[in-house]
Structure 1
């Protein structure tokens, strides 16, 4: 079997975690390979995500590395066992690898926390908003390809929102003020946020212009994904980079702390159960009403 030329994010993460465990145990590639009955070059390819690792070999390595967390070992085994196939597989010829990796990550995560300041989060966008966003941002793309981008976004929404992923979004008021779409599209988009907030797994907070506290986050939109075990949590940053996926624990803690701080200064979540014609309460729903009034 040949070596992988373009490993997925899941495959790269598995190799990275095995390397981290080996380094934490103080073993060289040669020492670790001998324990598992592998050649050093073979283990090097595994850690670089260029080839797969059988379950028995993975468990032997985890034992040699002193990893006593059964949930972590089981999660690593599952990562190695996965075929990586899902609804996103239909779009391999059309979508960038980062988009496919993001869809696979969403499918395997327990929860996702999202901060957006320029756009409504992709999982909460209406079809008309998606179309305006993609047609504006991909104006030079072939129309048929743009349709694939739109279709991919909407299928991603269906797959995630019909599942069990818990989604908590903090959205800056800027995202609802930008007028790159017609007023009726933005009105429907804002009303859609209220409809989405009725779903038990969805939590939406707005971060207003006037907070009284300087926002603690960077100016980069990001998503923090919680895995079945905390060691495999992942941050996805929405900016041009060599890799938008971050697994370093120090950076993970930093982004998680940023989201907690944003959550603390944002308005209380949209709660449709308290929907009313007029209120003086300062919460996300009252800001929604104000925005709808000004459109």
Structure 2
């Protein structure tokens, strides 16, 4: 994933995780009130190398991360060690097999999920991707505004199913909390049979200790964030959290402090109007009986 410290050419197309690592280095430098040139002088390296590190294009050793933090007068030891840990992850994930056949931002999402310490997801019109059955996901891809070819659909479908593996790992499944609006539960995606299978799948998943499923009913009315989907991936420390937005014009990743605070607040307010898990299960059973 990362080139060796001080060796090799800069990476031409860094992954989302590499870009995020570099952005965090830049934040540390800017908080210290230093320019890239001044930081390079402190480190005994050229300004271009500092810029390449902050752009995620070259590798950085854990020792250099700690040296940079010292020069930037950063005393947050937990953040420093979290950034140092990011530099030692060199394995290429399964998602790399899809590079060239799927948009790079989708691969960045899989990489983000793989490393997330916990995930919170809130949806209004669809069942969250990580909880979708194969038949449900297939129908979603078939309805894409830009029509997908059969091979493209198959690539996206297999990719989505493989992403779900983080919920089934034996040793350390990712803690996952989903808030799903009643509209998504009642929408007959693919017809009654597909919908019924999807609802049963939600019930089955909700039995897992690391998965929390809660529903918001129509009776809740309008609430902060209504009509909006939120995907919040927790990092090892709050500063490394990431919000993923899947919008009609494409995928976006947000990590600015103000943005993270906004979406934490929105999610908390959604939780306040959502049913508790047991009553959410009752609602799903009720919707299934009406199919």
Q: Do the structures match in fold with TM over 0.5?
A: yes
Does the aligned pair in 1 maintain the 2:185–2:284 contact within 8 Å?
Answer: no
SS of equivalent residue, structure 2 residue 154 = helix
SS of the equivalent of 2:247 reads coil
Give the root-mean-square deviation of aligned CA atoms. 1.8
- Residue 160 of structure 1 deviates from its aligned partner by 3.5
C-alpha change, 1:242 and 1:79, in structure 2 (3 Å) is farther
Match of residue 263 from structure 2: 255
Structure 2 gaps of 5+ residues are 1-7
Which structure 2 residues correspond to residues 1-295 of structure 1 after superposition, within 5 A? 1-83=8-90, 85-137=92-144, 140-162=147-169, 163-211=172-220, 214-217=222-225, 219-240=227-248, 244-269=252-277, 271=278, 283-295=279-291
User: Kindly tell me: are residues 77 and 250 of structure 1, through their superposed partners in 2, closer, same or farther at Cα, counting changes over 3 Å?
Assistant: same
SS at structure 2 position matched to 1:83: coil
TM-score if structure 1 supplies the norm length?
0.90
Q: Are the aligned partners of 2:189 and 2:195 in contact in 1 as well (CA < 8 Å)?
A: no
Distance apart, 1:180 and its partner CA? 3.3
C-alpha distance in structure 2 between counterparts of 1:31 and 1:63, whole Å? 14
1:86-139 per-residue CA deviation (whole Å, 9 max, x = no partner) reads 121221132211111111111111111101111100111111111111122277
Aligned residues: 282
Distance 2:166 2:82 in 1: 22
Unaligned runs of 5+ in 1: 272-282
Moved more, 137-146 or 33-42: 137-146
Does the CA-based 8 Å contact 1:197-1:203 persist in structure 2?
A: yes
TM-score after normalising by structure 2: 0.91
